[in-house]
Amino acid sequence: MGQPRGCGARAALTGLQQMSASVSGSSTSVQSLPCPSSGSEELTDSEGSAYSGLQDSGSDSSSSDEEEEQEEGPGGGSVPRTRAKGAPRKRKTLEDDSSLEESKALLAQNEYEEDSSDEEDIRNTVGNIPMEWYQDFPHIGYDLEGKKIYKPIRNKDELDMFLEKMENPDYWRTVQDKMTGADIKLTDEQIDLVQRLQRGQFGDVHFNPYEPAVDFFTHEVMIHPVTNRPADKRSFIPSLIEKEKVSKLVHAIKMGWIKPRKPKDDTPTYYDLWAHEDPNSILGRHKMHVPAPKMKLPGHEESYNPPPEYLLSEEERLAWEQQEPAERRLSFVPRQHRSLRAVPAFPRFIHERFERCLDLYLCPRQRKMRVNVDPEDLIPKLPKPRDLQPFPTTQALVYRGHTSLVRCLSISPSGQWLVSGSDDGSVRFWEVSTARCMRTLPVGGVVKSLAWNPNPSICLVAICVEQSVLLVNPCLGDKLLYGATDQLLESYVPPEEERVQPVRWVTATAEEHGRGIRLLVQHSKAVKQVTWHGKGDYFASVVSDNSNMQVLIHQSSKRWSQNPFRRSKGLVQCVLFHPIRPYFFVATQRYVRVYNLLKQELTKKLMSNCKWVSSMAIHPGGDNIICGSYDSKLAWFDLDLSTRPYQLLRHHKRALRSVAFHRRYPLFASGSDDGTVIVCHGMVYNDLLQNPLLVPVKVLKGHALTLDLGVLDVLFHPTQPWVFSSGADGTIRLYT
């Protein structure tokens, strides 16, 4: 019951409510509210009851407290009491003892009186509900008998309101109580309060917000106690309980039950840890453990007085200083001191110890297998070159005459004549045994390649000059022989129907004929290599082109050429006929392709394992090929074995220009840009199970490097173990 009423009371001063709420925080007091004599009795009563209702409910919320204070003004009769009641609540702590007691007494009286007015207020029985619910009804709630409590009659219209406004001098201070619907005229005090609150002042006129602050306990040290209570007697008398406890402890100590704490002994105790060495305790761990390597023992240079040769010279010291600390071979500079007393402390001693510690726990350890090998054992045991003789060992002859690099060499099948082609636009014929230049044939262009017909009954040399291949009869040696060759060439009868050929065969003019040139095979592009078939009828030429027209095969007796390949497989470096069987070798940059000419198909493709093949030669047996390459490798292929090189020889330091096999002896040679010719023994066994034996037997030097080029071509004598080499220095050398 109490609470709704309290709420009702609150609603009565709705206008004030918010204000009061704001005021409440400042906990003002109620010391002397002037008693308003003109307040209506009813109102007073209601306020009183509202207050008491609050008390009953035991609500302690500060907001409701404030309301009480607000509404005490009108409640005239209870003013002095209210004041007393408010005081203990709000300022209990501030009051001194006496005032506290007084207020308590007053409070008791107060409560008692206000209790009585509780049930009389009957105007609002609906409780704290939104009043809109009763807006359309003429009543608000019901009284005890169940009859409606009617609202005061309000039938004023606009005009009445206006008149009222105009006529009633108290109109401005009249407020409608929503709870009951009645008009209430505010008293002067109430208005004053409202105005003060609107101005943001304290509700209480007499409250001074700027009172000097008074500490409850002063900060100054006082000589008197706060409470003047005399000390207890027990504080003077020894405690019995304690005495009992102490005596117990004493007894325990006496009996030896309690011992004083021993002083801690930090010194570690040692004993015979390895008294029982258990062989089982050696675990796998210990076997796997890699013990840290011991520190390196110092050498003479670390002595304080080293022999003088260990001291660093000035430039050595400078070099030492410029090196990174990690790179130095010695971590210190050797120094000499006259006597022991002059030796200073080593400044990096702690560092070195620390680094050792770091090494011990941070460095990965690994058992390093030290190669304990005698370097001599690494050298392969090869048959001695002396046992592999004959092979060319010394330079015997030098053929001089060319003025520019000698690109190519060829030798007559009998081994009597040598022909060489050079960049100076001439071809020279030499007698091998005397180094005499027999003939000089100016061809008017760089001679890229030349080849003597391998057939001993034909005396013919094929020479590549620019776009044409010249077939030249050198007219050397047996007159019958070269006469027969000429006859053979002249006996050519052109066929009835002209066939379409990739090249043009031209018979030499009379002037050319006088020089020895018999036929010209004119290609569409520059020719870079020519090679004869073993029988001496066919020859192949390589054109520097990118199309399928790179390789052409010609038949000299029928003056007939054909293009064997339909498609280009890359830049052709050189070509070769198999000495016995109808095979044709084509070396492109990285591969050597072997074609069967009869079946007209690819039989093998050899991977050379090098970057750029420069030259190629075939063993007279026909089963082995060597390839020289510009990346200074020589690959030996065994055709029966595999398509990969049987061995890759890296003997030369620079690019290989040419390679050659001897026709009879198991020799092969390679010439390189480093100016050397290396002669190797390359024994091929008939027994298929035995691999070829390759032994380098001689390094031949002699050619001077010109334009970074050394040896351009090597060639073996057909019968003797001699090797010719032509160099960029314009000479041809014979080694025997």
Partner 1 sequence: MGGVEKKKYERGAATNYITRNRARKKLQLSLPDFRRLCILKGIYPHEPKHKKKVNKGSTAPRTFYLLKDIKFLLHEPIVNKFREYKVFVRKLRKAYGKSEWSTVDRLKDNKPTYKLDHIVKERYPTFVDALRDLDDALSMCFLFSTFPRTGKCHVQTIQLCRRLAVEFLNYVIASRSLRKVGAVVFLSIKGIYYQAEVLGQPVTWITPYTFAHDHPTDVDYRVMATFTEFYTTLLGFVNFRLYQSLNLLYPPKIDGQADVELKPAEGKEYAMDSESYLEKLSALSSSLARVVAPTHEEEVELDEFPVEGTAEQMDARKKEQEALEKHKKLFEGLRFFLNREVPREPLAFVIRCFGGQVSWDKSLCIGATYDVSDPSITHQIVDRPQVQQQVVGRYYLQPQWVFDSVNAKLCLPVADYFPGVLLPPHLSPFVTEQEGDYIPPEKLKLLAMQRGEEPGDASEEEEEEEDSNDKEEEEEEDESEKEEEMKLKKLEEQKTQSNKALPVTVTAGKLRLEDKQRLEQEQQSEEKRLAIMMMKKREKYLYKKIMFGKKRKVREANKLAAKRKAHDAAVKEKKKSKKAQRA
Exactly one of 357, 602, 688, 704 binds partner 1 (CB under 8 A); which one? 357
Question: Strands 551-555, 538-543: parallel, antiparallel or unpaired by DSSP?
Answer: antiparallel
Report d(CA 311, CA 414) in Å as an integer.
Answer: 72
Q: Where is 584: in which H helix or E strand?
A: strand 583-587
Q: Residue 37, interface with partner 1 (CB under 8 A)?
A: no
User: For residue 300, with 0-12 CB atoms within 10 Å meaning exposed, 13-18 middle and 19 or more buried, which class applies?
Assistant: exposed
- Scanning 52-60, 92-100, 231-239, 695-703 for contacts with partner 1 by CB under 8 A, the matching segment is 695-703
Which residues, 89 to 118, sit near partner 1 by CB under 8 A? Answer: none
Which residues, 643 to 682, sit near partner 1 by CB under 8 A? Answer: 649-651, 678
Which residues, 388 to 407, sit near partner 1 by CB under 8 A? Answer: 398, 400
Select 145 or 278, whichever has its Cβ closest to partner 1. 278
The pair of structure tokens assigned to 705 is 């490097």
Query: Which residue matches tokens 């020279």?
Result: 428
The answer to whether the CB of 715 falls within 8 A of the CB of 410 is yes
Least distance in Å: CB of 318 to partner 1?
A: 16
Exactly one of 42, 101, 321, 352 binds partner 1 (CB under 8 A); which one? 352
Q: Dihedral of the CA atoms 529, 532, 538, 544 (nearest 10)?
A: -10
Least distance in Å: CB of 293 to partner 1?
A: 10
Which residues, 243 to 302, sit near partner 1 by CB under 8 A? Answer: 261, 264, 266-268, 270-274, 277-278, 281-283, 285-286, 289-292, 294-295, 297-300, 302
Spatial CA neighbour of 519 closest among 531, 507, 511: 507
Q: Residue 132, interface with partner 1 (CB under 8 A)?
A: no
Q: Residue 369, interface with partner 1 (CB under 8 A)?
A: no
Select 376 or 640, whichever has its Cβ closest to partner 1. 376
Least distance in Å: CB of 370 to partner 1?
A: 11
The answer to whether the CB of 472 falls within 8 A of the CB of 554 is no
- Long-range pairs for 665-668: beta carbons < 8 A, 24 or more residues apart: 665/390, 665/391, 665/716, 665/721, 667/391, 667/697, 667/716, 667/721, 667/723, 668/617, 668/619, 668/626
Select 105 or 290, whichever has its Cβ closest to partner 1. 290
The answer to whether the CB of 345 falls within 8 A of the CB of 351 is no
Q: Residue 493, interface with partner 1 (CB under 8 A)?
A: no
- Scanning 196-204, 383-391, 411-419, 582-590 for contacts with partner 1 by CB under 8 A, the matching segment is 383-391
Select 216 or 274, whichever has its Cβ closest to partner 1. 274
How far are the Cα atoms of 77, 433, 552, 590, 613 from residue 574, in angstroms, in the given order? 138, 30, 12, 12, 9
Spatial CA neighbour of 631 closest among 667, 673, 664, 598: 673
Select 208 or 366, whichever has its Cβ closest to partner 1. 366
Select 6 or 334, whichever has its Cβ closest to partner 1. 334
Select 224 or 341, whichever has its Cβ closest to partner 1. 341
Select 205 or 342, whichever has its Cβ closest to partner 1. 342
Q: Which residues contact 656 (CB under 8 A, 6 or more apart)?
A: 614, 615, 628, 629, 630, 632, 633, 634, 670, 671, 672, 673
Select 136 or 278, whichever has its Cβ closest to partner 1. 278
Which residues, 321 to 340, sit near partner 1 by CB under 8 A? Answer: 332, 334-335, 337-340
Q: Residue 343, interface with partner 1 (CB under 8 A)?
A: yes
Which residues on adjacent β-strands are paired with residue 592? 587, 606
Which residues, 158 to 217, sit near partner 1 by CB under 8 A? Answer: none
Exactly one of 130, 364, 444, 494 binds partner 1 (CB under 8 A); which one? 364
Select 310 or 560, whichever has its Cβ closest to partner 1. 310
Least distance in Å: CB of 196 to partner 1?
A: 52
Q: Residue 309, interface with partner 1 (CB under 8 A)?
A: yes
- Scanning 350-358, 476-484, 526-534, 612-620 for contacts with partner 1 by CB under 8 A, the matching segment is 350-358
Which residues, 414 to 453, sit near partner 1 by CB under 8 A? Answer: 435
Select 212 or 344, whichever has its Cβ closest to partner 1. 344
Select 120 or 387, whichever has its Cβ closest to partner 1. 387
Least distance in Å: CB of 447 to partner 1?
A: 22
Report d(CA 605, CA 281) in Å as an integer.
Answer: 65
Least distance in Å: CB of 298 to partner 1?
A: 5
Q: Residue 230, interface with partner 1 (CB under 8 A)?
A: no
Least distance in Å: CB of 365 to partner 1?
A: 5
The answer to whether the CB of 554 falls within 8 A of the CB of 564 is no
Exactly one of 3, 125, 128, 303 binds partner 1 (CB under 8 A); which one? 303
Spatial CA neighbour of 615 closest among 542, 664, 519, 548: 542
Which residues, 571 to 630, sit near partner 1 by CB under 8 A? Answer: none
The answer to whether the CB of 122 falls within 8 A of the CB of 1 is no
Exactly one of 354, 389, 506, 580 binds partner 1 (CB under 8 A); which one? 354
Which residues on adjacent β-strands are paired with residue 551? 542
How far are the Cα atoms of 243, 313, 454, 464, 620 from residue 475, in angstroms, in the given order? 148, 75, 16, 19, 28
Report d(CA 538, CA 535) in Å as an integer.
Answer: 7
Exactly one of 146, 225, 375, 444 binds partner 1 (CB under 8 A); which one? 375
Question: Strands 711-716, 647-649: parallel, antiparallel or unpaired by DSSP?
Answer: unpaired
Q: Residue 344, interface with partner 1 (CB under 8 A)?
A: yes
- Scanning 5-13, 305-313, 424-432, 552-560 for contacts with partner 1 by CB under 8 A, the matching segment is 305-313
Select 343 or 580, whichever has its Cβ closest to partner 1. 343
Q: Residue 699, interface with partner 1 (CB under 8 A)?
A: yes
219-258 as b/e: b if 16+ CB within 10 A: eeeeeeeeeeeeeeeeeeeeeeeeeeeeeeeeeeeeeeee
Which residues, 463 to 482, sit near partner 1 by CB under 8 A? Answer: none
Angle between helices 79-91 and 97-114 (to 10 degrees): 130
Exactly one of 696, 705, 719, 736 binds partner 1 (CB under 8 A); which one? 696
The answer to whether the CB of 515 falls within 8 A of the CB of 465 is no
Q: Residue 2, interface with partner 1 (CB under 8 A)?
A: no
Least distance in Å: CB of 610 to partner 1?
A: 14
The answer to whether the CB of 530 falls within 8 A of the CB of 464 is yes
Report d(CA 648, CA 628) in Å as an integer.
Answer: 10
Select 398 or 446, whichever has its Cβ closest to partner 1. 398
How far are the Cα atoms of 35, 400, 515, 556 from residue 469, in angstroms, in the given order? 146, 25, 15, 11
Report d(CA 408, CA 449) in Å as an integer.
Answer: 5
Least distance in Å: CB of 614 to partner 1?
A: 19
Three-class DSSP category at 358: helix
Report d(CA 569, CA 587) in Å as an integer.
Answer: 10
Q: Residue 695, interface with partner 1 (CB under 8 A)?
A: yes
Least distance in Å: CB of 325 to partner 1?
A: 13
